[in-house]
Structure 1
């Protein structure tokens, strides 16, 4: 039963890293808008043309379409072709924009050092350009990646610059994303009070704008921060708020995410049956939306909860399901290399 207890046995620094990375990925996967796509508008691609005859803008647009469909190998092919065209034509805006898009894919796939290298070049190019919004987006991206690499000072500097630029261009969405990242970084550096205040501020600002996705993101981050700091009651309240948002929007993946978090919260023996019910709901949702990672996590958690209830058969059955999914995912990853 290697998988289900891993979270509980992490050191505090390990937990901090887990929270920062998980919340960073939450933002990255589009809860708060299409950052890079809004920062730079590519021209439509010409139909039925050879890549050799297409412009950098057209190649970038094709790559973006594949990116939105999560066809990452195809996206990277077209992005790299676009990058070559932009370098050949000495178009710094195109180079920087393409590097940000490549970095987003690298970050999703866990290639953080590669993402960081691309973003360093992009930030330097945008700093010399007139597009402040794109510059701010690139700073937010490198701030997020730097945090995951443990480069806290670099992350803080980038995020601080991003927040100032987003304020200057009156981009509330970008400012809110940045504040969530900054709040998580403050928590990671032991500035607990400041971090919680920053996250609360981001949640309230999104609520005022009635931006449900950003309110959800900030509220989940606030709950995760409270959970990390051992504030179980506050974490529970934040998670319930986020669950209400997900249910009101009929967003099953978000609801499943919150059911898992609520079920994972430590409580007294009397709450175990409620947590099993939440774990079962999370499992049901994961299966409905074909999210195998969430399904494995739900099975693992149920195995743990059943074990605490003394239901050995149910615990073993749930653990078997979880291990089977983990093994299948591992084989799939190796098979696609």
Structure 2
């Protein structure tokens, strides 16, 4: 009730226009909100994923901090705006603001804050396909966290850099970072980072076809997620276990893991991951010869990918549907669906 009363009072004193409309900072008001107040209101919207509502508050907070020369506030507001841009898939714009924030924190000689922003720089760089930039950001973040004696931050940087290096084909270097991060997380009893490291190492073993080495890592991580009630991490590990069971022909176990992952992603309102879960279930159903169910599940994935405007994955869903039609002997349907996928990929270039 206190929070609601505060927000109501703030809204009454200085209303914010709808997202996307220009803000006139010269407009009269009974009392101008300061940067911190604007940030807090923006945060209340952001934690509810109300991106359009949060954005104007963060933008006004940024302007307010700049007017009074509050550099820490400016860097914080830049990070908040960048977070919303990242949620919208506007990775390059987010990266530009984050790099500006990095420069400010460096000038203020705050290595921990600088490292935290560099983790975000690495994440948006990965999302936009800039692997080299992401590697530099994570490496710089690790160094800064070490200078700040922040073991938690250093562990996070190691895990992200380790994953990235493995994806770039530098498995030895990546695994060394992940093993070091895992050992340190165990020493600190940091369950969240243990889960991240266990999942990353397990994924590598699974990719290499070493299911026997991967399974205990996934299961240890899953047990930890259930203790700390980390739904996102649990969903990720159940997805990995579904892949593992599916590759070994344990379809019942694979289906159970994939269904639970689907429910978790739906609970989290993560439509992209939900689509991936539907696609995995469709592939498992196809392997079992359950054509109608497989088609329905891939159609669900297709609908989500269309809504997300992810043309590459939309095309992949069409290819999966064509495989179902081909398995049923529906050659014309299979050919037409494949043709749609090809056209879609060509238009996405």
- TM-score of Structure 1 vs Structure 2, range by shorter chain: 0.7 to 0.9
1:131 and 1:231 mapped to 2: Cα distance?
43
For residues 126 and 181 of structure 1, the distance between their equivalents in structure 2, rounded to whole angstroms, comes to 21
TM-superposed deviation, 1:266: 6.7
Q: Select the residue among 2, 10, 14 that pairs with 1:50.
A: 14
Please say which of residues 223-232 and 83-92 is displaced more in the overlay. 223-232
Matched, 1:115 2:94: yes
**Residue of structure 1 in register with 2:284 after alignment:** 305
Q: Secondary structure at the match of 1:190?
A: coil
2:156 to 177, 198, 222: 177
Distance 1:327 1:194, change over 3 A: closer
Contact 2:81 2:94 in 1 (8 A): yes
Partner Cα separation in structure 1 for residue 269 and residue 87 of structure 2: 19
Pick the aligned partner of 1:81 from 60, 73, 92: 60
1:13 counterpart residue number: none
Corresponding position of 2:141: 162
Alignment length (residue pairs): 288
Deviates more, 1:158-167 or 1:141-150: 141-150
1:251-330 matches, cutoff 5 A: 251-265=230-244, 267=246, 270-286=249-265, 292-326=271-305
Q: Distance in 2 between matches of 1:244 and 1:73?
A: 37
Distance 1:295 1:155 in 2: 26
Query: Which is worse superposed, 218-227 or 102-111?
Result: 218-227
Structure-1 separation of matches of 2:90 and 2:247: 40
Q: Using structure 2 for the length normalisation, give the TM-score.
A: 0.72
Quick one: distance in 2 between partners of 1:250 and 1:132? 31
Shift in CA distance, 107/328, structure 1 to aligned 2, threshold 3 Å: closer
> Cα 1:225–1:149, aligned 2, differ >3 Å: closer, same or farther?
farther
| Shift of residue 59, structure 1, vs aligned partner | 1.2
User: Per-residue displacement from partner, 1:269-326 (whole Å, max 9, x unpaired)?
Assistant: 6422321232233344445666554444333222211211222233234334444555
* Corresponding residue for residue 165 of structure 2: 186
Residue 174 (structure 2) pairs with residue 195 (structure 1): yes
Q: For 2:108, what is the secondary structure of its paired residue?
A: coil
Give the distance between the partners of 1:61 and 1:103, measured in 2 at CA: 16
Structure 2: runs of 5+ lacking an equivalent: 1-5, 16-24, 26-31, 310-349
Pairing partner for 1:220 from 193, 196, 199: 199
1:141: which partner in 2?
120
Whole-Å separation in 1 of the counterparts to 2:157 and 2:94: 18
Residue 210 in 1 paired to residue 210 in 2?
no
Q: What is the TM-score normalised by the length of structure 1?
A: 0.75
Q: Tell me the distance in 2 between the aligned counterparts of 1:57 and 1:290.
A: 29
Partner of 2:19: none
In 2, distance between residues paired with 1:129 and 1:290?
A: 38
Rounded to whole Å, the distance in 1 between the matches of 2:209 and 2:201 is 12
Question: In structure 2, what is the Cα distance between the partners aligned to 1:290 and 1:187?
Answer: 29
Partners of 2:229 and 2:58 in 1: how far apart? 34
Change in CA separation of 1:232 and 1:146 when aligned onto 2, cut-off 3 Å:
same
Q: Provide the C-alpha distance between the structure 2 equivalents of 1:158 and 1:269, rounded to a whole number of angstroms.
A: 38
- Give the gaps of 5 or more residues in structure 1: 1-43, 331-337
Instruction: Tell me, in whole angstroms, the C-alpha distance in 2 between the residues paired with 1:107 and 1:226.
Output: 30
Deviation at residue 109 of structure 1 after TM alignment = 2.3
